[in-house]
């Protein structure tokens, strides 16, 4: 999820759902041409729109807070 709190841009792990453009179940971000929630692949396929939508969200933010949470699968299970 990407949103503003005052002058801070907050980027966290996104909400999962079905992409508004292709229907794939994935982590979604609001970077569609009309603000649709779209998947990574659709975002990459329309890079200029994605950049513009991200720039709209950044606006005049002076701080970016990134919290991507715990990496799934990380841990000590793989150590011997």
Residue nearer to Zn ion on the CB measure, 9 or 19: 19
d(CA 36, CA 17): 12
Site for Zn ion contains 21 (CB under 5 A): yes
Site for Zn ion (CB under 5 A): how many residues?
6
Asked if 28 is part of the footprint of Zn ion (rule: CB under 5 A), the reply reads no
Least distance to Zn ion, CB of residue 43, Å: 8
Give the nearer residue to Zn ion in terms of CB position, either 9 or 39. 39
Q: 10: burial class by Cβ within 10 Å (0-12, 13-18, 19+)?
A: middle
Closest CA to 32 of 18, 13, 8, 68: 18
Residue ranges that bind Zn ion, judged by CB under 5 A: 19, 21-22, 24, 39, 42
């Amino acid at each position: 999820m990407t949103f503003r709190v005052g002058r801070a841009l907050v980027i966290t792990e996104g909400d999962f759902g079905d992409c508004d453009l292709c229907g794939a179940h994935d982590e979604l971000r609001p970077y569609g041409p009309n603000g649709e929630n779209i998947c990574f692949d659709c975002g990459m396929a329309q890079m200029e729109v994605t950049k513009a939508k991200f720039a709209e969200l950044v606006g005049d933010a002076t701080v970016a807070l990134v919290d991507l949470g715990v990496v799934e699968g990380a841990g000590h299970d793989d150590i011997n």
